[in-house]
Structure 1
């Protein structure tokens, strides 16, 4: 059927109107191809600069910026919010470096082409092999990274990125959001756990920020005068005898004047 101007809507145009999870007619192969080759927001092919979030989802940077602008103006759609609602700014995503697939694209055999691959093993980034990215943004297959950066005894699990030499902790734990290694497009179960952990961390940070603001807003208490110490009292007595002592001395002098003692007579 024709649309405005007599154009025909293609399957790629229609799929962009919904998230992948909302298309039950989208078969497993097509969905996998879309996950690893298209931006999760725009559904356009991934092209540099590309970014990845803590859930392992991939975005074109310009599409992510457009979403953030719409979000700020309350114009983001429900589908966009469901996909990227945890992203409040570019600081919540990492710029990644994708390596072109060295294998030539062959359209005649009918297979779907995957344009990116692991720089260590040459394996295509097609969803059949686990892929990860580091904090530095370099992307590898999990197998390739393990082969060159698996933690060894006595080195405190520290390693260097095989592509840019940036240091990282070689802890391979897909469900730990504090790790330096993040899985790209992990299983739905792992992604759900990571989403919950991100929400928990966000709430914890909000509580910490609230306490810090309250502390800054609370007026400072006035300083209390220092209490006198025992030494202070002792010095006071030395320089200013109390009234009781002065009265006692005066009374003794008066009594002596009224009743003088008789002189003692010594006889030979």
Structure 2
């Protein structure tokens, strides 16, 4: 059976078999992880930052996301764990001298090495192209290959000299198991920080509560004392003019002895409640001058 023009169809054109599973190109996958931003899908350019899960981003893209999270952007699932600038770290990368970047020949008459990375390890010299494991330190942000950290075992950064611990090492673009482990560690750290913050707030409240109660008790004591002195003075007024003068002198001497402003054990905030405090006193310029007006004045 032929078609128009005398062509003979083949079997695969008439019989449809099962579809072949599309395989992901490993080279394209590596290039997407190590040469492009995980949020904006643009080429990585300095300054480059990384999160606690080891993904690479352009710092400008992260700042734009944090300023306006409501805007529609692709790949927002990759940055849901980033709450602020404290959750990212700017990387201290070492440039690859063989990387030409935009200066390379784009005519197509030259072989282009897709495994040539923009950055290298400053200790071993391996290229950061996805073939080798790379890590960064959360303390200083310096980036090294995993081989360099294993061969030169030290607790001081090879590049800047800052001390670090084993828990400060974060793998860049790790496997699924490594990312899950980093996520668990991140959640544990955040939970500990949250509980620690709540304990500090409770301790501050417990310290402030007794001091307020103490000041309130002192105020009531002073008020009770003034009421008692007021009762004595009223009785002395009924006794007579001579008795009132004597009791008035006694009241003044008692008040001078009980002056709150001279008590060193009292706090300044407690002293400022009373009118005898320096903040309550006014000069002659600050006091108002009252002038009466009579309607009978012509």
Distance in 1 of aligned mates of 2:99 and 2:195: 52
Pairs within 5 Å for 1:7-156: 27-71=25-69, 74-75=70-71, 77=73, 79-80=75-76, 82-105=77-100, 108-112=110-114, 113-134=116-137, 135-148=139-152, 150-151=153-154
Structure 2: give runs of 5+ residues left out of the alignment.
1-21, 218-298
Distance in 1 of aligned mates of 2:66 and 2:196: 25
C-alpha change, 1:31 and 1:220, in structure 2 (3 Å) is same
1:67–1:76: 8 Å Cα contact kept in structure 2? no
Tell me the residue number matched to 1:247. Answer: none
Distance in 1 of aligned mates of 2:47 and 2:99: 22
What SS does structure 1 have at the residue aligned with 2:164? strand
C-alpha change, 1:75 and 1:216, in structure 2 (3 Å) is farther
Q: Which has the higher helix share?
A: 2
What SS does structure 1 have at the residue aligned with 2:75? helix
What SS does structure 2 have at the residue aligned with 1:133? strand
What SS does structure 2 have at the residue aligned with 1:33? helix
Shift of 1:56: 0.8
TM-score, structure 1 as length reference: 0.60
1:102–1:122: 8 Å Cα contact kept in structure 2? no
How many residue pairs get aligned? The number is 182
Structure 1: give runs of 5+ residues left out of the alignment.
1-23, 152-158, 172-178, 226-268
Shift of 1:26: 5.1
What SS does structure 2 have at the residue aligned with 1:167? coil
Shift of 1:75: 3.1
Shift of 1:109: 2.1
